[in-house]
């Protein structure tokens, strides 16, 4: 059962990451593509992913709930979905 859940998680993550990458590249013009994409990727991942362990630890300590990091991840996914749905295709 664990292997099946890992496969499902990997598929969902692959679908999400491919859409985010395509959307990020699509936002910028061709002349200015590399630097803004790299900057956006680096800044977001260093601030969100870099502090996630600290945030998870604080959430668990404050709420005394071991599932509280899941709520943080759900909130992050909802914010991402909102941003994706607000994108306009040219």
**Distance between CA atoms of residues 90 and 87, nearest Å:** 10
**Distance between CA atoms of residues 1 and 87, nearest Å:** 37
**Centroid of chain to Cα 53:** 14
Q: In tens digits, what is the pLDDT along the chain, a chain of 90 residues?
A: 888 888 888 888 787 777 777 777 777 777 777 888 888 878 888 888 888 889 999 999 999 999 888 888 888 888 877 877 787 766
pTM given for the model: 0.62
Which H or E run includes 39?
helix 34-44
**Cβ neighbours of residue 71 closer than 8 Å, sequence gap 6 or more:** 59
Instruction: Quickly count: other Cβ atoms within 10 Å of residue 15's Cβ.
Output: 10
28, 37 in Cβ contact below 8 A? yes
């Amino acid at each position: 059962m664990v292997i099946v859940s890992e496969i499902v998680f990997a598929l969902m993550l692959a679908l999400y990451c491919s859409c985010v990458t395509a959307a990020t590249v699509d936002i910028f013009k061709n002349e200015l593509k590399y630097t803004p994409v790299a900057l956006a990727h680096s800044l977001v991942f260093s601030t969100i992913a870099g502090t996630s362990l600290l945030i998870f630890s604080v959430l668990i300590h404050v709420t005394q709930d071991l599932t509280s990091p899941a709520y943080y991840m759900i909130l992050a996914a909802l914010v991402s979905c909102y941003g994706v749905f607000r994108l306009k295709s040219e």
